[in-house]
A and B are shown apart, each in its own frame.
Chain A
Amino acid sequence: QKEVEQDPGPLSVPEGAIVSLNCTYSNSAFQYFMWYRQYSRKGPELLMYTYSSGNKEDGRFTAQVDKSSKYISLFIRDSQPSDSATYLCAIRGSSWKGGSEKLVFGKGMKLTVNP
């Protein structure tokens, strides 16, 4: 079983829709959960990060972690054409021995929001 699984899509939605992006993971030791957004031909940029369980909200974006199910989600409300990008989840454990090189990425989900 892979450490992080993410449906690669693609996903196409109309403007204004609520978008749900998800990842599952296998290692219960993971503690830090991140979402990166990557526009075409650009580098990824950190969108949100959550430590341990719970929800975190930032404007139209909500990150949710369910550690009991080993499932993380990113919700986008009132989606806009400017949200069209690839979204990557990234997860790491709490051990500092390895440092950030142990960040494990999902394969990324390509989202298109149609006007």
Chain B
Amino acid sequence: DGGITQSPKYLFRKEGQNVTLSCEQNLNHDAMYWYRQDPGQGLRLIYYSQIVNDFQKGDIAEGYSVSREKKESFPLTVTSAQKNPTAFYLCASSIDRYRGAGELFFGEGSRLTVL
């Protein structure tokens, strides 16, 4: 079955540590995205990538970094510079920017807790 796989599902981190969240898709989608979801705040875009080796900052990129070395993979690193990293992180993909409404397909999410 095609889909988006995020790992780990739950992650605990000590303050000052960097962590990397994995996102892999086998939908052959060109575009991939990272969102952060906090209670009462909806989804906020962190980074997105529309092609391999290229990515753009979203609305809340500070304290995060990404890479897009392969079409299928778009890992997110939450750095120690992120002041409030405890959140639910969602990876998504869409076919590309030219077809359809750009509807997003989401993974199951990764919940990061900073201790």
**A71 CB → nearest B CB, Å:** 18
Contact A105 B101 (CB under 8 A): no
- Which residues of the other chain, B, contact A43 by a CB distance below 8 angstroms? 4, 6, 90, 92, 106-109
Main secondary structure of the interface of B (DSSP, over half): strand
Contact A103 B105 (CB under 8 A): no
Interface segment among A45-53, A60-68, A72-80: the answer is A45-53
Chain B contributes a number of interface residues (CB within 8 A of A) equal to: 29
- Which residues of the other chain, B, contact A88 by a CB distance below 8 angstroms? 42-43
- The reply on A92 being an interface residue by CB < 8 A is yes
Closest residue on chain B to residue A93 by CB atoms: B102
**Which interface class (under 10, 10 to 19, 20 to 34, 35 or more) fits A?**
20 to 34
- Which residues of the other chain, B, contact A42 by a CB distance below 8 angstroms? 108-109
Contact B40 A101 (CB under 8 A): no
CA distance A59 to B94 in the complex (A): 25
List the interface of chain B (C-beta within 8 A of A): 4, 6, 31, 33, 40-43, 45, 48, 50, 56, 58, 90, 92, 94, 96-98, 101-109, 111
